[in-house]
Copies of this chain bind each other. A is one copy, B any other.
C-alpha cells in the first residue's frame, strides 16, 4: 500500500496490487458486485488472479466460474456487462468489491436486478423482487 504506482509497475519489483490479494487454496477470492449509484448488491462471484487483472485491464467485470472452470466476463452471453468504476479490497485482503454500472439493469440470470431476490420471512424464503426481463430473452432458453 505504500508502493508508488511506478514501483508497483516496475518489472521485477515483485509487488503489484495483485500480490496484496489473498487467494484461497483454490486460487480464488470472493467478489461482490455492487451497482452504482443505487447501491444495490447485485451478486457474489469468484475471481482468480487473471480475472482480476482482466477486470482492471478491460474495465469490465470478469470472474472465474467454478462450475465451468474458466474465466467468465459478466454479460458475455446476455450482453448485460458490468462496467467497473472502482475496485476495492477489504482489510484482510481476502474479499474484493467491484462497484459497477450494470448494463440493462439486470444482473441475475433469472432476469432480476439482483441475484439476492429471496428474502427470509416467517422462516421461509420468499421471492421479493420482480423479473424485469424474460430470461429466455437473455439466453435464448429458460433460466433454471
Given known A-B contacts A30-B44, A91-B109, A97 and B121 have beta carbons under 8 A apart? no
Copies in the assembly, this chain: 2
Q: How far is the CB of A130 from chain B (nearest CB, A)?
A: 14
A interface residues, tally (CB under 8 Å): 46
Q: 1/0 per position for A14-44, CB-CB distance to B under 8 A?
A: 0011001000000000101010001111011
Complex CA gap A44/B87 in Å reads 15
Q: Given the interface contacts A32-B41, A44-B32, A44-B95, does A17 sit within 8 Å of B120 by beta carbon?
A: yes
When chains A and B are docked, how far (Å) is the Cα of A31 from the Cα of B127?
Answer: 19
Chain B residues with Cβ under 8 A from A115's Cβ? 90-92, 95
